[in-house]
Amino acid sequence: MKGLNGTFQRSYKKRDKNNNLVDVFVYAVTGSKEAIEAYEKAQGEFLRKDDTTGKPLWFSTRYVGDSAKLIITEKGNVVADMSEFAKAASLASQFGGNLGVELARNAAAQLMGGASTTSAPVEVTADSSTLGQA
């Protein structure tokens, strides 16, 4: 389903089945009328809405940024579209080293809604007395 988005609202802690404290991230869900209807159907009895805005809410134990595209899977589960994160991780690991670090840094900044974090340019100058020497 295209056009289904989540916007971070808040987080809280709860105990999981092993009694460990885990973070829960709450997102307000927006989209076209059809997308919202599909979301509400997919959530079924687990559908929760914001008391103030009436918007449906999506809950995750993983922070996926301040805004996220949401997908309804073939089995009716709602998940965050992590494609852009996976692409960034793949590029960073393919190149490794300094290039991989810079790719990862810039991708993370863009994915988290920030500006690109480029390193300061390095100026390379050649002294004419060293040109051609090995």
Tens digit of each residue's pLDDT (9 = 90 or more) over 26-35: 999 999 999 9
Dihedral Cα 46, 52, 56, 60, nearest 10 deg: -70
Whether the predicted pLDDT of 113 surpasses 80: no
Q: Residue 48's Cα: distance from chain center in Å? A: 22
Cross-sheet strand order for the sheet of 78-80: 48-49, 56-60, 21-31, 4-15, 67-72, 78-80
- Is position 18 within any domain? yes
Identify the domain containing residue 95 by its residue range. 82-120
Residues 36 and 92 in one domain: no
Residues 76 and 90 in one domain: no
Return the residue matching tokens 């900044």. Answer: 109
Residues 16 and 53 in one domain: yes
Residues 95 and 69 in one domain: no
Tens digit of each residue's pLDDT (9 = 90 or more) over 33-69: 999 999 999 999 999 999 999 999 999 999 999 999 9
Cα distance from N-terminal residue to C-terminal residue, the chain = 60
- Predicted local distance difference test score (pLDDT) of residue 114: 57
Burial of 46 (0-12, 13-18, 19+ CB in 10 A): exposed
- Residue with the bigger pLDDT between 128 and 95: it is 95
Residues 29 and 91 in one domain: no
- Is position 126 within any domain? no
Contact between residue 82 and residue 129 where contact means Cβ atoms under 8 Å apart? no
- Taking the C-alpha atoms of residue 104 and residue 15, their distance in angstroms, rounded to an integer, is 33
- Taking the C-alpha atoms of residue 24 and residue 60, their distance in angstroms, rounded to an integer, is 6
Residues 53 and 70 in one domain: yes
- Is position 129 within any domain? no
Residue 2 pLDDT level (bands cut at 50, 70, 90): low
